[in-house]
Structures are given as C-alpha cells and as structure tokens.
Chains A and B, each alone.
Chain A
C-alpha cells in the first residue's frame, strides 16, 4: 500500500474519502458501536442520533425532508429499490402476467438502471430505451413522445457517468408529475456536485452514492417523495423493518455518519469546487485540442458536469494510450480483451464511431486536483498520443487523405 501512487483522475469511478469524513466515522466503529435499533440503552440511542443527523444532512443537500431519505448500500441498491420497487408497487397487473406496465429509460444509463429494467421486462413489464442524440442529452420532448397510457415509471439519470452530460431533469420531472407517472433519477454523478432541489426539480425518487462524493464506499441513499405524490415502494430486502420497512437490515452506522458528513461538506463546497473544476476541464479540453490534431470532446459542449471530460484522440487506441500515461489513473472507452472488443456502449449509443470510441479517455477530477496535475496530464497525454501516432497505420492513411471508414477491413 505504500508504493508511490499514480496521479488520480478517475473520480467518476470513485473518490478518496475526505479525511473530515473519516474522522466522523471512526468513533462509530470503536466506542459508539451500538445498533440504532436498540431502543433501550445508550449505545442504541447514540447510534440512532448519528443516523438521524446524517439523514438531516443528506436531506438538506437535496432540499428534501429527513423522513424521505432511505439509507442503502450505494447507488446500485438505490436504483434497484427505486425501479423494481416502484414497478412492482404500481404494476397494472399481478405477477406472472404480461402487460404489467410501461417503463421509459435510456440506452446510455448505467448498468445499475439498465439491468433492473431488463429483469422487469422478463417479469412482464414493457421497457422503452430512449436512443440518445449525438450530444448525449435526453430532452423532455424525447420522453414525452414515448409516454403511453400504461406508462408507470420514467427513470432518467441526471448526469452521465462516462461523458458527464446533463439531461433535462426538471422538465422531465414536471412532465411526469403532470401525467401522474413516477419519476426516478440516478443522481450518482450529480448530487453533491451540482445544486439539487427535489421540489423545484420535480423528483420522486433520487439515487446517489457516498463514494462518488468523497464519502465512504458501500453506503448510499434513496430519496422517496412523501407528498404530492406519496410514493410507495415494494421492498427488496425483507426483515427487521428498518428504514420504514423499505430496507431491512441493521444500519451501517459509521458509513451513514460518514455519508451525512460528506453530504454536508459537498453542500458547502460545491460551488467553489465546481468553478475550480470547470477551469480545469476547460484547460484540459482546449490545451489538448491545441496540441493534438483530430481530438473530439464527447457529449454536449456546455451541458456537462464540471468534473468529467471524455475525449477521443483519433487513430490511437485507448488501452495503449493508458499504457503511455500509466502514472495517471483514468478510464478508457476501449476494452481490448478477447471476450469484449466492444468499445463503450455509452459512446456507441451516441453514434460515436467505433474507432473513435476505442480512442477515448475519461478524465474526472476531484476536490484535490491541482493546476500542476492538469499541466502534467496535458503534457503526458500529448507525449503518449504523439508516440502512438508515429506507430499508427490509421494516422498514415489520414495523412494520405484516405477515408478510413471507406476501407474494407478484414475483420478477424
């Protein structure tokens, strides 16, 4: 664990837990180790107090009431509970039948939304997967076109985890409220980074996760609206009836305490942090484009969260590019393994050509990213891309004026 670490620009994947968060968590692992369900002694009361404080902090971050927060193990669980829980609660027909109701989501959602939807399809629900446009932004019109009389649920993420694009959430929420359809949003890449108000933004169900916002891993939350409308969910975990029966199981007290603290810190710091990160993102995008020809920033130019950029460097394969910048931890849109030569399904769904998708990097910044790190990243990526282009047969063809897409490749 003590080797020098690479520079970290993979914060959309997970973040460092803020030391101020860790400090809040520690006592609940050592002295204050009670179960918040123990109503008859001080250990239990202490734990319950910690949970309720975190519930207030979490609710405050999104403009909700503390009673509307359900603690979970992360955004995957929150999404599953929201989507399966709402579908089963509001199903038009009982289990075992078809035509149980219609759900709308989008093709570039996270797997933690897509896979619950796929399971529901097997269980008799119809699902429409919206095809995102080239800029990745799902608009209210795209959703409106697909609404049917039997639509019971719309699930559209707030910001996309690979390209950072922001969907038209408040407007989609308004549409759903007008049509009396439950609206869920996966806010994992949004909440804590951008101002959120579930009332103003018309949200019924909102998922987010601690480890994407400088909190601990394995803890997240689901906002469940209590009035106008009162949203009910069928639980997935049955047991002790914790979290208003929606999520049984002894609560992860230290994790929840840390989650609450992380929410509080984000609430106070997001504005200044967002401005700083936006400057970094702009520097990365403009300076890399200046140094390297044929680069493309994926997703809408302006409707994006400030901490994520996804850039394709033509004629250079992503995994080899990562190898050239191995002292920078980040992600590539390419997965070159024999099992999957598939480029990122998110980029593909936007219609980014396969070879540009294979050539993409996602760089995502954090609270601790510095100007010096951005300088270093720009220099390293430039060096690696130029090194690889010297070797790239595609770059030669481009230089000769050959249109690569018109060549008959011998696929192997």
Chain B
C-alpha cells in the first residue's frame, strides 16, 4: 500500500509524542484528560493525554500510538488540531476531516475513527474528573 506524503511525514516526524506522566500520575491530575482506545489484539492502541485549563481550553496534548502508519499519523494530526481549542470545539472534529487531510484510503478509515474516539475519551475523562456533565452518547463504540 502506498502512503500519502502527509502520512509519511507524520510517521517520520510525529508531532507531540509523549505523555504528561505515568498512568498513575495522570490519573491523579485533574487538569489532564486521558483517552486510551483500541486494543493490542486489533493491532492498534491510541493514547491521548490533554492538558486543559479551568476555562476548558486544551493547552497541550500528547499522544502515543501502537498501530500502522495511518494510525500514527491520525493521532499526531489530532494533537495538532486540538491544541488551543476549547473542549467543545475539539469535540466537533470529525474523523472524515482527518481522512481528507491525510488522504487515507478506505481500508484506513478506522484509524481516523480511532483518533476521533481518543479525543472524545480524553475530554470525557477530563470532564468526569472536574465534575462536568458528560454526554453519554459522545463515546462511540464501534463493534467489529
């Protein structure tokens, strides 16, 4: 399969790789939302850490990803896009926008879905930690 130039660029120079601490440390931090989606047996796991201000603005984001090049590129792009956005703005990001930006072929659409899911999961985690109402239906669970 031939990858688009943008996917290759993100793969070689991924943006915002990292975390805001170990799984225990980030659990204890109220300003950090954690989203982990996917499963190793499916061949992809995305982990997104977001650091959110009291006003609900995503000040920083870090990702880690076990998955194919398209999954890495999708999560790298997601961190770029959500930085500086409010959580509501971030929630409006659609996986189709990621597909378009990275020119993902149909077989890789699930990578963009996973990126969208990780954003939702991280925001939900932050909301829960801070006593905000979480929307039940924001967390799309895809069966396959």
Contact = CB atoms under 8 A, between A and B. Distances in A.
Contact of A393 (B47, B68, B110, B117): B47
A343 to B, nearest CB: 7
A339 B107 contact: yes
Interface stretch (B11-19, B51-59, B81-89, B130-138): B11-19
A225 interface: no
A310 to B, nearest CB: 17
Contact of B23 (A315, A317, A397): A397
A348 to B, nearest CB: 10
A2 interface: no
A126 interface: no
A33 B81 CA distance: 64
A: contact size bracket: 20 to 34
Contact of A343 (B14, B43, B65, B142): B43
B43 A315 contact: no
A12 to B, nearest CB: 20
Interface string B61-83: 00111111101100000000000
B141 A412 contact: yes
Contact of A392 (B64, B69, B110, B117): B64
Contacts of B40: 354-355, 358, 394, 404, 409
Interface residues of B, number: 42
B66 A411 contact: no
B118 to A, nearest CB: 10
Nearest to B46: A393
A402 interface: yes
Contacts of B39: 409-412
B38 A392 contact: no
A338 B38 CA distance: 13
B67 A337 contact: no
Q: Which one of A324, A341, A391, A397 has the highest number of Cβ atoms from chain B below 10 Å of its Cβ?
A: A391
A412 B43 contact: no
Given A341-B144, A343-B43, A320 B19 contact: no
A180 interface: no
A397 B42 CA distance: 17
Nearest to B76: A391
Contacts of A397: 23
Contacts, number: 117
Given A410-B37, A410-B38, A317 B141 contact: no
A320 B11 contact: yes
Given A409-B45, A410-B39, A396 B64 contact: yes
A337 B110 CA distance: 8
Given A412-B37, A412-B42, A412-B113, A338 B106 contact: yes
B81 to A, nearest CB: 18
B33 to A, nearest CB: 15
A410 B36 contact: yes
Interface string A397-412: 1001010100001111
Contacts of A3: none
A163 to B, nearest CB: 19
Given A317-B66, A400-B23, A358 B117 contact: no
A410 B106 CA distance: 23
Given A410-B37, A412-B110, A412-B114, A316 B66 contact: yes
A57 B8 CA distance: 48
Given A393-B64, A396-B64, A412-B144, A338 B107 contact: yes
Contacts of B108: 337-338
A409 to B, nearest CB: 3
Contacts of A411: 38-39, 41-42, 144
A393 B114 CA distance: 15
Interface string A47-69: 00000000000000000000000
Nearest to B22: A400
A391 B14 contact: yes
A335 to B, nearest CB: 8
A310 B137 CA distance: 43
A254 interface: no
A239 to B, nearest CB: 40
A336 interface: yes
Nearest to B35: A410
A241 to B, nearest CB: 45
5 smallest A-B Cβ distances: which pairs?
A354-B41, A409-B39, A355-B40, A393-B47, A393-B64
Given A394-B45, A396-B64, A412-B113, 6 more contacts: A317-B44, A319-B43, A336-B43, A338-B107, A391-B17, A409-B41
Interface of B: 3, 8, 11, 14, 17, 19, 22-24, 36-47, 63-69, 71-72, 106-110, 113-114, 117, 121, 141-142, 144
11 contacts: A316-B66, A320-B68, A336-B67, A341-B44, A391-B63, A393-B65, A394-B66, A400-B24, A409-B38, A410-B37, A410-B39
